[in-house]
Amino acid sequence: TQLLEQSPQFLSIQEGENLTVYCNSSSVFSSLQWYRQEPGEGPVLLVTVVTGGEVKKLKRLTFQFGDARKDSSLHITAAQPGDTGLYLCAGQRGNEKLTFGTGTRLTIIP
Amino acid sequence: DAGITQSPRHKVTETGTPVTLRCHQTENHRYMYWYRQDPGHGLRLIHYSYGVKDTDKGEVSDGYSVSRSKTEDFLLTLESATSSQTSVYFCAIRPVGGSYEQYFGPGTRLTVT
């Protein structure tokens, strides 16, 4: 059973377009993180959200945690080729472990 | 840079042989984790450690064992490698405090033939 579902699995868009990817669960999380992974490398932490309804911005990336702390979204404005990668969400539920989603593979076409 | 290295970075081995992967960190973090990453499954936790000689199983621990005799090293052993253990293996650390953020090593690509 996959606790965290990410959608879409694959997304390919033109440079300059906007996009949103989603991370959904039926479980409540104490915190949720987003990572980006490039080929041949480990995931790199982008952001952590901890409060229901919280919005964080990282340059052109906007992250939102759902009010009920069961879901999250990542919105990218004016996508650039450097945004290409695998985006992973991960939720923490009060113990020492994280549960990872299966990821959204994003390709930005120049 | 969380100062995490993994060795080897690539390995090809035969079915039935034992294999040990090493994760080394330079910042004395207490918590360390081993994951495997496979298409369609994302990152799945194999084992994790709270400190020296203090380890616990994750969701896919069958066929794997770990040891942590020093804070800086966390070893993952495949006791008798099988083709289903072909994967990319990542080590991660978690700093104490914060919101459970984890920082990952560069990974080891293991192929079992």
CATH number (2.60.40.10, 3.20.20.100, 3.40.50.720, 3.30.300.30) of A5-109 reads 2.60.40.10
Domains detected in chain B? 4-112 (2.60.40.10)
pLDDT for residue B2: 65
Distance from CA of A79 to the nearest CA of B (A): 24
Residue B96 — pLDDT band, cuts 50, 70, 90?
confident
In this predicted structure, the answer to whether residue A78 has a pLDDT above a threshold of 70 is: yes
CA dihedral A3, B54, B110, B61 (to 10 degrees): -50
pLDDT for residue A96: 67
Rounded average pLDDT over A39-45: 94
Share of chain A above pLDDT 70, in %: 96
Give the residue from B93, B95, B99, B102 showing the smallest Cα distance to B74. B93
β-strand partners of A6: A23
Residue B1 — pLDDT band, cuts 50, 70, 90?
low
Give the residue from A71, A74, A61, A67 showing the smallest Cα distance to A104. A74
Task: For residue range B35-87, list pLDDT tens digits in order.
Answer: 999 988 889 999 999 999 999 999 999 999 999 999 999 999 999 999 999 99
Average pLDDT, chain B: 94
Nearest residue in B to A93, CA atom: B100
Give the 3-state secondary structure of residue A81: helix
In this predicted structure, the answer to whether residue A1 has a pLDDT above a threshold of 60 is: no
pLDDT for residue B14: 97
Average pLDDT, chain A: 93
The DSSP result for B53-87, as a single string, is TEEEE-TT-TTEEEEEEETTEEEEEESS--GGG-E
Give dist(CA B62, CA B40) in Å, integer.
Answer: 19
pLDDT for residue B39: 85
Structure-token match 């999250």, residue found: A72
Nearest residue in A to B2, CA atom: A44
pLDDT for residue A2: 59
Contact assessment for residue A46 and residue A36, using Cβ atoms and an 8 Å cutoff: yes
Identity of the residue in B58, B101, B107 whose CB atom sits nearest the CB atom of A45: B101
Q: Tell me if chain B has a CB within 8 Å of the CB of A25.
A: no
pLDDT for residue A110: 94
The reply to whether residue A101 touches residue B100, judged by beta carbons under 8 angstroms, is: no
Identity of the residue in A42, A44, A50 whose CB atom sits nearest the CB atom of B99: A50
In this predicted structure, the answer to whether residue B22 has a pLDDT above a threshold of 90 is: yes
